[in-house]
Structure 1
Amino acid sequence: MSPQHAELVIATKDDVTSGRLIVHRDVVSPQKAGAWASHLLSASCPATGSGVAGDTGGVPGGVVVELAWGCHVDKLDLSAMLKQGGLTQAVVEFDGTTVNANAQTPVVDATGAHALPTSRGQRWRSASCWPPRCCSRCGRSAPGGSSSPSWSPGCVPAAGGSSWPSPAG
C-alpha cells in the first residue's frame, strides 16, 4: 500500500450502495477515515463511513473504510479525494468494472473512468459545497426540494469554491 494510491470497491443495488476504500495510513488516520471518506465521496445521497486500521485486517500500513449510501449511486467523482489525499491514482472496481482513476479521469461508474464535464453548467460537483445539502448545483437537493441554486444559513462554498454559480451556469 503506497501513500499515493487508493483502492475502492463499489457495489450497487436498487436502493443502496456499499463500498470499501483502502488508503495508506499516512493519508488519513483510522479514527478520522470514516468522516473523511464519506464527505469526499458523497453522491446523489450522503455516504456514511467507518474506518479501521488495516494492520489487523490484512492490509499492513493501510486504513480500511467501509462505506454505505442509502441510494443507488450511478457514478462517483473522486477528484476531491485524489486531491485532498495527495493521491495520484485510485484503482476502482465499480459493479465489476475495474479502472484506474486519476486527476484526468476522476469520475468512475460501471462503464469506466471519465474526465470531469467541461461545460460551465456542469462544473459544480458534490464536493463543492459544505454541508452537501446546501446547494442543488452540487448534486444535492436544495433545502425544501428546490432545484435552483440555494444559499442557506451555515452553508459555505468548500475549499476551491469561492462563489456560487449563476442560475444560467
Structure 2
Amino acid sequence: MGSDVGQRLLEHYPDFMAAEPQRLRHTYPALSLAACEDIAQEAFLRVGSKAAAGGLAADTNVVAYLRRAARNLAVDRSREQRTGRRLVLMGGDSLAAVPEQRAFAEEDPRLVLEDLVLPAIEGMPESLRRQVVDLQSRGLSDPEIVARLGIPAVRLHNLRNKAIAHLRSTLAGHIREGHRKKQQHGKKDR
C-alpha cells in the first residue's frame, strides 16, 4: 500500500476498527460483536488489497469505501445466517415460527446518507456549495437555507445543482448502473 490511497487507509484504520463493529452490531443485531469485528477487519483487508493492487482511484473516499465494504459483508453474513424463520417462545412451552425481519443497509436511505453522502460532502472544499448540500442533508428547507446563508433563492438552486453534480461524479462508483444519470454530449437543439 505505497500509494496515497493506501496511506489514507492506514491512517483511518484505528478509527474504523474502533467504531465500525458497533455500527454493524446496531444495524445487524443478529450478528455478534465478534462477528462484526471480523467483518470490519475483513472489509479493511479487502479494501487494502484492492488499494495495493492499484484498484482504487487516487480521489477515493476511503472512509465511505471501507464502510460500504463492511456493510456489504454484513449483509452477506446476515443472509448466510438467515434460515427464513426463527422460533419464538410464546408463553408456556409453546413455540411459534415468525418471519425473520429484513434489515439490509442498501434499503435504508439513512445508512446511505451516513455511509456515503455525508463523508463525500465533508470531502468537498469549503464553499457555499458545500454549505448548501450540508444544510440540505440535515433536513433544512430551501427558505431556511436561504435565510441562514443570506443568498437569493436563484443562487441557492445554482449552488445545489453544481454540488449535486460534484457529488454524483464523486459517488459514481456507488450508483447502480440503471440509476446513473445519462451524460449528454454536445448541445441540445433548441
The structure carrying a bigger helix percent of its residues is: 2
Greater Rg, structure 1 or structure 2? 2
Higher relative contact order (CA 8 A, sep 6+): 1
Structure-1-length-normalised TM-score: 0.25
